Amino acid sequence: AQSVTQLGSHVSVSEGALVLLRCNYSSSVPPYLFWYVQYPNQGLQLLLKYTSAATLVKGINGFEAEFKKSETSFHLTKPSAHMSDAAEYFCAVSGGTSYGKLTFGQGTILTVHP
């Protein structure tokens, strides 16, 4: 069984500040890990993913995430927040099965203040 926990349903930062969104996972097999972003009333857009290559993964819009097996974490960071980063972010885990089922966290809403 797999599960994902996102710590903090709401995160608020000032424009230009560091963004840190936390994700911890549980998986009985080597995981694939994903971060998606969702803007209001839209679908999900892939930010980045980890597939057992480099542990530091760079994604779109200046985001990156580091896979830490010992901590079962895959936290999402961005050095300097922009107003356009305001959205909901989802962490997800896949066990690499052929049907590729994704298990999602509850989501974290990021607010960026001027």
Partner 1 sequence: DGGITQSPKYLFRKEGQNVTLSCEQNLNHDAMYWYRQDPGQGLRLIYYSQIVNDFQKGDIAEGYSVSREKKESFPLTVTSAQKNPTAFYLCASKGAPYSSGGVTDTQYFGPGTRLTVL
Per CB under 8 A, residues contacting partner 1 are 4, 9, 32, 34, 36, 41-46, 49, 51, 90, 94, 96, 98-102, 104-107
Give the nearer residue to partner 1 in terms of CB position, either 62 or 96: 96
Give the nearer residue to partner 1 in terms of CB position, either 66 or 104: 104
What does the alpha-carbon distance between residue 29 and residue 81 come to, in Å, rounded to a whole number?
Answer: 34
Residue 111, SS3 per DSSP: strand
Give the nearer residue to partner 1 in terms of CB position, either 47 or 112: 47
Identify the sign of the CA torsion 37, 53, 17, 103.
positive
CB of 32 to partner 1, least distance (A): 5
CB of 2 to partner 1, least distance (A): 12
Give the nearer residue to partner 1 in terms of CB position, either 18 or 54: 54
- Cβ neighbours of 108 (radius 10 Å): 20
* Exposure of 27 in the CB half-sphere (CA atoms within 13 A): 24
Residue 53: DSSP 8-state? S
CB of 53 to partner 1, least distance (A): 8
Residue 41: DSSP 8-state? T
